[in-house]
Amino acid sequence: MRLLLTLLVFVLFSDCTAQSNSIQLKKEILNTQPKLVVGIVVDQMRYDYLTRFYTKYGEGGFKRMVNEGFNCKNNHYNYIPTYTGPGHASIYTGTTPKMHGIIGNNWYDKSLGEMIYCAEDKTVMAVGSNSGKERMSPHRMKTTTFADENRLFTQMRGKTIGISIKDRGAILPAGHSANGAYWFRGKNEGRFITSTYYMKSLPKWVQDFNKSDAAQSYIKVWNTLYDVSTYTESGNDLNDFENGFKGKETATFPYDFTKLKDKNEGFDIIKASPYGNSIVTDFAIAALDGENLGKDNITDVLAVSFSSTDYIGHNFGVNSKEIQDTYLRLDKDLERLFKALDAKVGVGEYTVFLTSDHGAVEVPSYLKSKKIPAGYFDSKGFEEKLKAFVAKRFAASDLIKNISNNQVFLNRKKIALLNLSLNEIQEAIVNTVINYKDIDKAYTAKTMRTSQFTDGIEKLLQNGFNQKRSGDVIFVLDPAVISYSPKGSTHGSGLNYDTHVPLLFYGKGIKQGHTVVKTEIIDVAPTLSALLGINFPNGSTGKVLEFVMK
């Protein structure tokens, strides 16, 4: 009898212990969410900026993420065009322009008959500026972001704040339900602003930041962080492939902004320097306290976009000393941000991802000097030639309404009025432009709608094709051929120099490691959603990168 009682007590004790362990395990599972997710987008960051400058980086910025986090080395954009607006939208929505509708930074609106801007919203007003040009919101983005889904999941208690030099870099990642999105107004103001989409007046912490004259403190000399002779990972400082600043004869260090400011749109000169990244870092750190981000167990989202890298890349090109110095300085700014997160949110209590909205091509004139195929597309000449062809072929003028973003938009009303065949005109354009110099491929909208491509440039085009918003004909330029000035560089293609960008994860819930398995930019949002245990963005087409998570 005593033995039976002993066994019964043991069984009951074991069962209680098992239940206790199960409850504890469930608590641990439910409490794996970070207090704060920080999304970092470095505008126009090619993957090789991570590796080219690696030995010059310190231990607390890029290297901290690489060495302690997870590095997806073969991460690509899976659509065309690779521009800032579509890039930021795709990262946070987990889908492509085909679904989220941001088909460019600007595009021709077929219903309005005019060019529109991706974040423009004439129903709102600027807050913090009297400018009529800062009326912005995310209303043109058709799907939710993972930040939106986090807001819904937490009954709107989890905050979302977006910050960037560029309005679209702050607005699109933050999503539709953000508590705030702030961007930098340069010109003669030098302050962070927002719009009435979010609020009626700037919070006190933002007002205090603007009153601190932080922008004025960056109107100073930009010289290299280290001796310029040590910048062996980039080309000569004096060359024929860079634009520079108005008021300075050569595009060479140093740049005295106190002397150059007035000839370069006032405080806008900060945008085109590493100091633009620094002031964004200053503002992001101020937001941690100002918005009480990561202060409780309800996950908040901070979306930070460093846009100055893009301005500098356009101005000076991929191989410039200016680009190298910018990334070495950004590395220091990242270290500052991570230290602030350690102190204010807590080590191991936050999760960070870092990626880019697109890469960039080497300056074609530089490539040509090295006997590498490259060139420049004559957009104006192309338009004149194509309009003349269509007018002659179909005995009618004004059948082409617009040519932009490597797309041709036809005058469908006039085509219908003249009882012409839309499909026939589309096919005729494809058949003629494919013979034009510098054009590699061309497809009709009908082809994009009715065919199912599984690989190659054609698949990328289809992922970027939005039936309601895209044009009647899409064409692709030859590799390293751009429509741009012979100095500086740009982006937009589906080639590796534009699609291959970093993807780093670090912090709570993230493994240490790396992979060369191909990942896509649309995988970021579902991965973060899985980490948070929330619904995926409503248009998400990416996959969860389970190998990056513990």
Report the candidate in 354, 365, 367, 368 with the shortest Cα–Cα distance to residue 501: 354
84 is an active site residue: yes
The letter for the amino acid at 378 is D
The answer to whether the Cα torsion of 350, 351, 357, 360 is positive or negative is positive
N-term to C-term CA, the chain: 49
**CA 473 to CA 493: how far, in whole Å?**
16
Beta strands 503-507; 36-42: pairing state: unpaired
Whether 76 and 501 have beta carbons less than 8 Å apart is answered as: yes
Q: Which distant-in-sequence residues (6+ apart) come within 8 Å of 227 by Cβ?
A: none
Strand partners, 354: 40, 504
* Active-site annotation holder among 17, 32, 82, 84: 84
β-strands 513-515, 70-72: how paired? Answer: parallel
Structure tokens at 405: 């973003």
Burial letters 185-202, b for 16+ CB under 10 A, else e: bbeebbbbbbbebbeeeb
* Strands, E assignment, 56-199: 70-72, 75-76, 106-109, 114-117, 126-127, 160-164, 180-185, 191-195
Type of residue at 52: R
- Kindly report the length of the chain: 550
- Tell me if residue 96 falls in helix, strand or coil: coil
CA dihedral 528, 534, 536, 538 (to 10 degrees): -140
Task: Reduce the DSSP state of residue 409 to 3 states and report it.
Answer: strand
473 in helix, strand or coil?
strand
Give, in degrees to the nearest 5, the angle at Cα 292 between 43 and 174.
35
Using CA atoms, how far residue 534 sits from 68, 155, 286, 301, 395, in Å, is 25, 12, 28, 13, 57
The catalytic site residues sit at 84
